[in-house]
Amino acid sequence: MRNRARWVAVLALAGVTVLAFFAGRQFEASAQAAKARARSTSAVAQLPAPEIEPPAYRQLAVTEILALPFWKFYEALRSAPEGAREKWASELAAMPDGPRRTAAVSGFYKLLVQFDPTAAVKAIRAIEDVKMQCVALGAAVDAAPGSAMPKIAELSLSLENATETVSSRDYLLDVLFAWMEIDAGAVGRFISQHPETEDYLHRLPIRQVLIPVLTRTWAEADPAEARRWLKGRGSEGEDALLSEEFIDGWYVSDRAAAVAYVLAHSGESGFLGGVGAIVRNLYSDSREEAAKFVQSLPEDVGADALREAFRRHPLGSEEAGDTVRTSRAFASWMTTLPPAYWQGALGSAFFSSTEMLQWIEEQPLAIREKASEEFRSLGDSTVSDAAAVFQSASPDLQERLLTAMLRNERHAPSATEFQKSLDASSLSPSQQQRLLRILQLVSAEKNAASSAKTAKDFADDQ
């Protein structure tokens, strides 16, 4: 009897506790909802009056999408049942070809892919008019959220044979580029799981940039995973591990490890891109650190690294709001290093002879003399660059710059070609004579060097 009373009491207590638990849940949920309503009401109150009541999907024709405020169509589409969405898709297919249909198709699929990617994929796959299918696919590719990327990538791959007959857009490439920013590992796995993607990527040069960009992005997100995946790709992947792309990404995710690794391997062949990547990134973050890094390298590697740093990543310009990664800033920084590091590399900082010329003229004497030996023709014609030298530099500096420019020409012009260019130029006769004299001196110097090399090679062969 006593036991029974005890059990009743225990059960009653348990019941009270459970009831209290749910009462607490209910209370908290109501409180949060009330807070949300208050916030929402105050915000919605600022919206235009018509937005308060979204229209029912039955009131809207999809063909009028362009004329509708976005929110109206969005609310209607969101609340519409699947059948209504299918009806809209068939309405779109029935529209005559033209800008209105393009706008409606693009708007519809851009939206649908964002809240029901499965329905969007199904509907796009069912479109029979390939031109319209391309518009729909393009919209889906552009607007797809991260969660929809796998489906859209599969769709793009499966429709490639059809879409490439009417559109020059590379839908799959576009999806993969957008997707890798969100989840590079997923893109790597997609490529591994769809071997046909490898063929697709190798078919056009423009697609061959995907793997290097994926390497960089993945190394930025998760270098260990990226390394594992690349190692699984054989020699191509092993090479990628030494590439500037991998080092670039790794630098962002773990700067110290990337710098230490590159320093330890800086002398190895095929690694120059990685060394250049560290110089470029350190330069952007801290010029002092960059200088320390370069001086930790062997002198010959240091010069190559400086030349490599911005070879494939053009320097910015002040016009584009960049004051650090400009030719002038990079060159000025280079010359804070001992000349052995930047001789032979200084010219790689500039894209215009005129800009290089102006920069050299502004330097203190000691730097100016050394830097003038690096001057080179970067424009369309050596003669027109020579004209710029004649206009702006002092006679003494002119001689140095012109000699350096002709000496640094990779493909020296023949005397006949050079004379033709001179005849067509605005240079005065005395300037032309002076230039010809320097060309003869430089040619003689190059010939002598070439003969000496041939004699040495011959002696070595013997």
Partner 1 sequence: MARPVKPPTPSSTIPSKAAALVVLALCLSSLGFFAGRHSVDGEPTLQISDAVSNSNGTSVVPRKRVSETSDLSKVTIRNIATIPFSQLYDILRAATSEQRMAWARELEQMPSGLGQRVAVAAYYKSLIQVDHRAAIEGVLHAGNLRARDVAIDAMTKAAPESTWGDLAEMLEELPFAGSVFGGADLFGNWSRVDPVAVSEFIEKYPLTAKQRDRETGDDWRMSALIRSWGEIDPAAARSWLEDDASRQTQGVAEALLTSWGRVDRAGAIEYAVAKAGQPQFASAINELVYQFIRFAGEDATRLLAVLPTSQAQAAVKNVAAVTSPLPEEVNGINDRGPEYQRPPEEVAHWMITLPLELWQENIGPVAAKWMDETPDAAKAWLNQLPPASRDTAIASCCHAAVLGYHSREPAIEIGLTISDARLRDAAVGALVRRLETSVPGAISASRIINELSVSEQQKAYLRTFITGKPYAE
78 vs 122, beta carbon nearer partner 1: 78
Q: Which of residues 202-241 bind partner 1 (CB under 8 A)?
A: 203-206, 217, 220-221
For residue 352, the minimal CB distance to partner 1 (Å) is: 13
Measured between its terminal Cα atoms, the distance across the chain in Å is 119
Regarding 146 and contact with partner 1 (CB under 8 A), the answer is: yes
Which one of residues 7, 11, 47, 452 is an interface residue with partner 1 (CB under 8 A)? 47
Site string (90-129) toward partner 1, x via CB under 8 A = --------xxx-xx--xx--xx--xx--------------
Asked whether 217 and 186 are in contact (CB, 8 A), the reply is: no
For residue 217, the minimal CB distance to partner 1 (Å) is: 7
Residues in the interface with partner 1 (CB under 8 A) total 70
Q: Which of residues 49-78 bind partner 1 (CB under 8 A)?
A: 65-67, 70-71, 74, 78
328 vs 400, beta carbon nearer partner 1: 328
- Find all residues with CB under 8 Å of 104, minimum gap 6, and list them: 62, 63, 64, 65, 66, 92, 95
98 vs 364, beta carbon nearer partner 1: 98
For residue 8, the minimal CB distance to partner 1 (Å) is: 10
Which one of residues 11, 19, 56, 424 is an interface residue with partner 1 (CB under 8 A)? 19
195 vs 321, beta carbon nearer partner 1: 321
Regarding 394 and contact with partner 1 (CB under 8 A), the answer is: no
Asked whether 213 and 185 are in contact (CB, 8 A), the reply is: no
Regarding 458 and contact with partner 1 (CB under 8 A), the answer is: no
Which class for 254: exposed (0-12), middle (13-18), buried (19 or more C-beta within 10 A)?
middle
At 101, which amino acid appears? R
Find how far residue 252's CA is from the centre of its chain.
14
283 vs 375, beta carbon nearer partner 1: 283
124 vs 367, beta carbon nearer partner 1: 124
- By CB under 8 A, which span of 42-50, 304-312, 364-372, 394-402 interacts with partner 1? 42-50
For residue 21, the minimal CB distance to partner 1 (Å) is: 4
Residue at token pair 């009131």: 59
Residues that bind partner 1 (CB under 8 A): 9, 12-13, 16-29, 32-33, 35-36, 39-40, 43-44, 46-47, 65-67, 70-71, 74, 78, 98-100, 102-103, 106-107, 110-111, 114-115, 135, 142-143, 145-147, 164-165, 168, 181-182, 203-206, 217, 220-221, 252, 316-317, 319-322
